[in-house]
Structure 1
């Protein structure tokens, strides 16, 4: 909605991971180096953990995009709440291999033949498993067994495990001792440092086509950091809403007072914390006016009488913002729209 007003060709703060917008902070640069090291190590497991929204998926997108497809074949498992057999089917699907009507033995044989075929063609096979903290012990053991496959003494598969901090604690359990011994590198991705927040925001605006708008008053980055803790997804949520607020007021300079006001509104609307889950708490902004893909008619009406005074205040502010957005959109489109 605000792209044209600020002279942008794409939304700068969307929540969907996009490797084109990857800002290489000190932590992200180091994590990416670990991942690249892992690719050319050609064996074992590389583990990257981090809080929700720190940019693990975006890092992986950047890595996969940079790989030479004539040298590395990459598959990705996103849905990890799977038992061992379903995990094997998902691994097969990630490499575009058929699994219909295959027994477990048949699935393992198909994977091994695929790995061997690529090894003979001087290609490495890389498996990326996201949300690894959701894997069952049986599924993790299946991954460990796949890592045992070799051809002429050379490993056939390398695996990256991406997960939230609890995955690090999982790996310390006695039943995962053998898997832990296969980990060749591990890195925990933290949030941005306070001094990196300003560069992060300006970088994303630059990639989106900014030629200097909006401008920022002193102290904005410190306020952004205080409300988001430097978590990139939280920053995106807050910045998107701040840009929307500035657009609705027809101003192209953002100050700390505006950031503070918008942050407090978001925290009220979302029950005390700025959104950290792209699938549940979406910022009101570009392409976020629906209900996460659900039919609006299927959603029960909200019973306002049972809301707390704080929730009622937050809802009132949200409704007011929506009315302002509708008016701004009508003005933008012209009469009769």
Structure 2
């Protein structure tokens, strides 16, 4: 039996995160794509956010955020960008399908709004160096965020290392944050990437613990101003077991339950129609109890809001 009483200290963080947010309707209660309005300040996510902010403040040229699919890497960066509004220039490369140095340099220049057609690789390098140094002179380093970094070719990662070496005085003209699946660790064992591997500050996004996963679901209900019980105990156990503490999976299975309710079906039966719901595993988090579980399953939300 797991008690949720010690975790009620997250209430203060929940309230801070909810300030200024518009209500979401039922269909958007658990969004399927990253939405900064619905960011939940999980312990692991906030720790990584603080580490990245510290890396930037210290002038570190490289940071690496590792997390499984659906762990919230992209959402975390979107929230970080709001906290880094004073940076002179931010480049966000949202995919990793680049197989050559010139391809990634063109993508960065495009995001910076700089014409680059018909240039050789040598010309591209000179142009981007000049642009980064100009940005630095106007106020500070350019922050380059590369999503899906585990998909990048080795030559592209090496090109990033060269960009991170670009100095302006004693500081770096560019700071680079890689977002990647843990498979990136295997990629970095390549001999030609040893120099980059040694300089990467690693940060790991961990799945939510069972208690925090319940709080995550409760947070989204509060965010939408939902005034009725969200799930019965069986449905809650099912969502937690299938979600495995991964935010995207928790959202998916919570939506399936709520969609079943909207369609006037038995919600747990609706869950079982989901292709990803079929599994022989038993529920591993049954028996979770405490005030926050009661809020999710049978408490009066009108009373709890007073």
Q: When the two structures are superposed, what TM-score results if normalisation uses the length of structure 2?
A: 0.77
Q: How does 1:1-337 map to 2 (within 5 A)?
A: 8=25, 11-69=28-86, 71-82=87-98, 83-183=100-200, 185-207=201-223, 209-218=224-233, 220-249=235-264, 258-259=267-268, 261-266=269-274, 269-270=275-276, 272=278
Number of residues of Structure 1 aligned to a counterpart in Structure 2: 256
CA–CA separation in structure 1 for the residues paired with 2:228 and 2:129? 54
Q: CA shift at 1:271, angstroms?
A: 8.2
CA–CA separation in structure 1 for the residues paired with 2:159 and 2:257? 46
CA–CA separation in structure 2 for the residues paired with 1:59 and 1:89? 26
Q: CA shift at 1:164, angstroms?
A: 0.5
Q: CA shift at 1:129, angstroms?
A: 0.4
Q: When the two structures are superposed, what TM-score results if normalisation uses the length of structure 1?
A: 0.71
CA–CA separation in structure 2 for the residues paired with 1:7 and 1:91? 35
Two-structure CA RMSD over aligned residues (Å): 2.2
Contact 2:271/2:277, CA 8 A, preserved across alignment: no
CA–CA separation in structure 1 for the residues paired with 2:104 and 2:25? 42
Deviations 1:286-331 (A, max 9, x none): xxxxxxxxxxxxxxxxxxxxxxxxxxxxxxxxxxxxxxxxxxxxxx
Q: CA shift at 1:187, angstroms?
A: 1.1
CA–CA separation in structure 2 for the residues paired with 1:62 and 1:81? 24
The change in CA–CA distance for 1:99 and 1:52 in structure 2 (over 3 A counts) is same
Q: Which has the higher contact order (CA 8 A, sep 6+)?
A: 2
39-48 vs 157-166, greater mean Cα deviation:
39-48
Deviations 1:60-96 (A, max 9, x none): 0000122123x34210112212121111111111222
45-54 vs 80-89, greater mean Cα deviation:
80-89
Larger radius of gyration: 1
Contact 1:115/1:125, CA 8 A, preserved across alignment: yes
Contact 2:67/2:204, CA 8 A, preserved across alignment: yes
CA–CA separation in structure 1 for the residues paired with 2:199 and 2:132? 19
161-170 vs 112-121, greater mean Cα deviation:
112-121
- Long gaps (5+) in structure 2: 1-22, 280-306
- Long gaps (5+) in structure 1: 1-5, 251-256, 274-337
